[in-house]
Amino acid sequence: MMKSAERAALAFVQAINRQDVEQMAELMTSGHRFIDSMGQEVKGREAVRTCWVGYFHMVPDYSIAVHETLCDGPVVVMMGVAKGTYAPKAWLKAENRWETPVAVQAVIKDGKVAEWRVYADNEPLRERMRAGV
């Protein structure tokens, strides 16, 4: 049986996979924290929402495929693959497609995502960005 914290985390993944920033914002607490794989942190629902809008402009087909989920109370850990296409000029070119293993830790509070922490090797995306295509 799926726990409510797990349902909330997976609903957030579904919103990410649709690039539905408005739904993502609805699923965040007002004090939401996003921490990327480099340890950089963005605080507050509106600030994080703005970052996701920018990210989806850069990688318009970004998605996460969750292969395994572990849930312990309000903490959900999801492991799988993140993928997308780097599109600096809104062009989805096959040579700019990338994917990488990913783990995400979500902390759920009152049915909403209070923290979203990503652990991923972003080198595949950085390679495409350095190539500047």
Show pLDDT as tens, one digit a residue, over the chain (133 residues). Answer: 458 999 999 999 999 999 999 999 999 999 999 999 989 999 999 999 999 999 999 999 999 999 999 999 999 999 999 999 988 877 788 888 989 999 999 999 999 999 999 998 777 666 766 776 5
> 80: Cβ–Cβ under 8 A, 6 or more apart, which residues?
64, 65, 66, 67, 68, 101, 102
Domain encompassing residue 59: 4-131
Count of other CB atoms within 10 angstroms of residue 18: 11
Q: Please count the residues of the chain.
A: 133
**Total tally of structural domains belonging to the chain:** 1
How many other C-beta atoms are found inside a 10 Å radius of the C-beta of residue 72?
Answer: 9
Tell which residue, 10, 24, 1, 28, has the closest CA to residue 69: 10
CATH code, domain carrying 41? 3.10.450.50
pTM equals 0.91
CA dist 97 and 84 (Å) reads 6
Place of tokens 């318009």: 60
